Amino acid sequence: MQNTRNFSIIAHIDHGKSTLADRLIQKTGLVEERKFRNQLLDNMDIERERGITIKSQAITLPYISNDNQKFEFNLIDTPGHVDFSYEVSRALASCEGALLLIDAAQGVEAQTVANLYAAMEHNLEIIPVINKIDLLSADIDRVKRQIEVDLGLDAEQTILCSAKEGTGIDDVLEAITKHIPPPEGSADKPLSALIFDAHYDSFRGTVVSCRLFSGKISPGDTIRLMSNGATYKVEEVGIFRLAKTSKDSLSAGEVGYIIAGIKTVSDIRVGDTVTLDSNPVTNPLPGFKEIKPVVFSSIYPVSSEDYQSLSDALEKYKLNDAALIFQKDSSAALGMGFRCGFLGLLHLEIVQERLEREFGQSIIMTAPTVQYHFMLTNGSKVTIDNPTYYPDPVTIEKGMEPYIRASIFAPERYMGTIIDLCTERRGVNSRFNCPTPGRLEIQFDIPLAEVIYDFYDRLKTVTQGYGSFDYDFLDYRESDLVKMDILLNGEKVDPLSQIAHRDRARPRALNACERLKEEIPRHLFKIAIQGAIGGTIIARSTVSPFRKDVTAKCYGGDITRKRKLLEKQKKGKKRMKTIGSVTIPQSAFVAVLKAENK
């Protein structure tokens, strides 16, 4: 155990975390050069494409130090997005140290700070690493100053590297052996293991990733999950090399996996404590909490006959994603579907993409919404995450919506535009912090609903890519909430309804009308698009009918071609929804959520 090191790499998005992980794996010789596939830890297509890690992963690396000692490194990868901050905290709780990776050109960003704080909460030993020193725009001195001043860390310890070019990697490996302490805990004590991840394997069931703090676990043991008392018989334990490598046992200080006939990932709670049924620990490890969804949206099949297939796909998807919750839902316009809860907008997008890509589903997602509270005149309180259930306005005493604390890091020249953006998004109670000359940390209390739309995109735009953003939940605050409906030729399209603050309803309705006008193809008749609150029309646009498409000639040689074109269009229509006589492409449902054109 003296030669075991458990650590994470923490970084702001795009600062090169996965590239560094790949280098470490390569340098320790776990994988042959020619078999090397970039970003080994990000093994989902979406992760690789988006360049972010969605799930936690662990890998055990053998390392022989310069003074010829044999080490075993457990690198625990953490998700790189605020939606998954709880998973991050559990992964960090499984480590003794962390490499804090900072881009030599970008410097300290919002998530650098957020991740550092998270790591410090778990008393991790921090090794600052400045990456991308090969860049022309690299400003090592500035970043070192930021490390000293903004982060309060010892810049002397900082390691310089370029993960891309492979320079400085040996220094990183040596620093891990020297600065990160070995794990503590006794194998003789009762088993206490922290679950930091679980994934589904179609042959073996759920594979639980955990860190053992005390005790020992072997196949044949009966384990107990402390949050719900469920027991399972252990079939296999082991460590992750490039694939699972089974072992006779796992002991205190080690990081590895347990397979115990657990059917779905949903039976496992990240943050839960595993102990032995025969000899349990008295107290679970601290920090366990049930993760709750914060963003809600409905998913419908494009073609209503695909409902069953979507249902099956969601069940299967859920095997590997405990954070997604869903229940049956139905809409007058779209038929049967599912109301789903997500950890955040990124989580929502990932679910959408994976359902489409991996499960071949054609789906329509409705406007994401947060959970609102309404106090009614009869003294009761209702919680609503679906605009369909917006209460009768006359019965509403007051509405309440969730607020977050948004932290934004950006060069100070963007201060004005950031404040404008936050104020426009109903941000209040702003605070400023000038950690280094030229850089600014701005905090705002902002309704979550204003952030889940397009806030991050807009922030990136107004700061020309320099702004970064992180958030924490604050509380529920009173708010004048209305329901905004969209009507097509006078017919209400319920999946396009949104709950919004009264002041924001009109701009949002205008935006929705304009977006729909762009997305809905011209028909043979005029289509009126209207936004309304109750019976009052607050926005409108029109799709004018198209007038000519006929070809001049149609003789023997043209008929087949013409029919094939019709058949193609017919097929295309299957991916659209018909409401009344209006055909709406799938993209229209997404487009209404996109940024307002400025």
Partner 1 sequence: MNTSQKSGLYIHIPFCRSKCPYCAFYSLASRSLILPWLNNIKNEIAYYKDQFECFDTLYLGGGTPTFLDAWTLEILMKHIFNNFRFAPDTEITIESNPCDLNREKVNVLKDLGFNRISLGVQSFNDQDLSFLGRRHTAKDAETALALLRSCGFKNLSMDLIYGFEGQSIKEWAKTLNHALSFQPEHLSCYQLTFEKRTIFEKLKDKGLIKPLSEKEECAFFSATSQFLENHDYIHYEISSFARGKAYYSRHNNKYWHHIPYLGLGPSAHSFQESSRWWNVGSVRKYCALLEGGRAAIEDYENLTGDQLRLESISLGSRTKEGFDFKEIPPDHKSMEMIMRLQTSGVIRIKNNRVIPTKKGFLVADHLANCFF
Query: What residue ranges bind partner 1 (CB under 8 A)?
Result: 524-526, 545-557, 559-560, 562-563, 566-567, 569-570, 573, 578, 580-581
Residue number, 62 or 545, with CB nearest to partner 1: 545
Residue number, 420 or 567, with CB nearest to partner 1: 567
> How big is the CA angle at 351 (ends 350 and 352), to the nearest 5 degrees?
90
Smallest gap from residue 496 Cβ to partner 1 (A): 20
Residue number, 263 or 563, with CB nearest to partner 1: 563
Q: Which amino acid is at 265?
A: V
Smallest gap from residue 446 Cβ to partner 1 (A): 44
Name the DSSP letter for residue 264.
-
Comparing C-alpha atoms, which of 331, 344, 272, 323 is closest to residue 492?
331
Cα dihedral 523, 524, 530, 534 sign = negative
Comparing C-alpha atoms, which of 206, 215, 224 is closest to residue 266?
206
Residue number, 157 or 583, with CB nearest to partner 1: 583
Residue number, 13 or 488, with CB nearest to partner 1: 488
**Beta partners for residue 340, in sequence order:** 297, 326
Smallest gap from residue 575 Cβ to partner 1 (A): 14
Residue number, 535 or 557, with CB nearest to partner 1: 557
What the block records as the tokens of 408 is: 């934004």
Residue number, 434 or 566, with CB nearest to partner 1: 566
Give dist(CA 162, CA 302) in Å, integer.
47
Smallest gap from residue 525 Cβ to partner 1 (A): 4
Cα–chain center distance at 240 = 24
Give dist(CA 287, CA 58) in Å, integer.
20
Taking CA atoms, 555 is separated from 551, 564, 566, 569, in Å, by 11, 15, 16, 21
Smallest gap from residue 308 Cβ to partner 1 (A): 22
Query: Strand order of the sheet with strand 4-11?
Result: 57-64, 70-77, 4-11, 97-103, 125-131, 159-160
The answer to whether residues 302 and 574 touch, using CB atoms and an 8 Å cutoff, is yes
3-state secondary structure of 154: coil
Smallest gap from residue 590 Cβ to partner 1 (A): 24
What the block records as the tokens of 218 is: 């072997």
Helix, strand, coil fractions of the chain, as percent rounded to 5? 30, 35, 35
Smallest gap from residue 551 Cβ to partner 1 (A): 6
- CB neighbours of residue 43 within 10 Å: 13
The answer to whether residues 275 and 208 touch, using CB atoms and an 8 Å cutoff, is no
Residue number, 64 or 565, with CB nearest to partner 1: 565
Residue number, 393 or 580, with CB nearest to partner 1: 580
Comparing C-alpha atoms, which of 356, 364, 354, 294 is closest to residue 329?
364
Strand 273-276 to strand 255-259: parallel, antiparallel, or no bridges (unpaired)?
A: unpaired
Residue number, 219 or 521, with CB nearest to partner 1: 521
Give dist(CA 23, CA 203) in Å, integer.
31
Smallest gap from residue 547 Cβ to partner 1 (A): 5
The answer to whether residues 185 and 252 touch, using CB atoms and an 8 Å cutoff, is yes
Smallest gap from residue 269 Cβ to partner 1 (A): 47
The answer to whether residues 193 and 214 touch, using CB atoms and an 8 Å cutoff, is no
Residue number, 408 or 582, with CB nearest to partner 1: 582
> How big is the CA angle at 370 (ends 369 and 371), to the nearest 5 degrees?
130
Smallest gap from residue 567 Cβ to partner 1 (A): 7
The answer to whether residues 252 and 189 touch, using CB atoms and an 8 Å cutoff, is yes
Smallest gap from residue 486 Cβ to partner 1 (A): 19
Name the one residue in this structure whose structure tokens are 């991840």.
197
Residue number, 37 or 575, with CB nearest to partner 1: 575
Smallest gap from residue 337 Cβ to partner 1 (A): 20
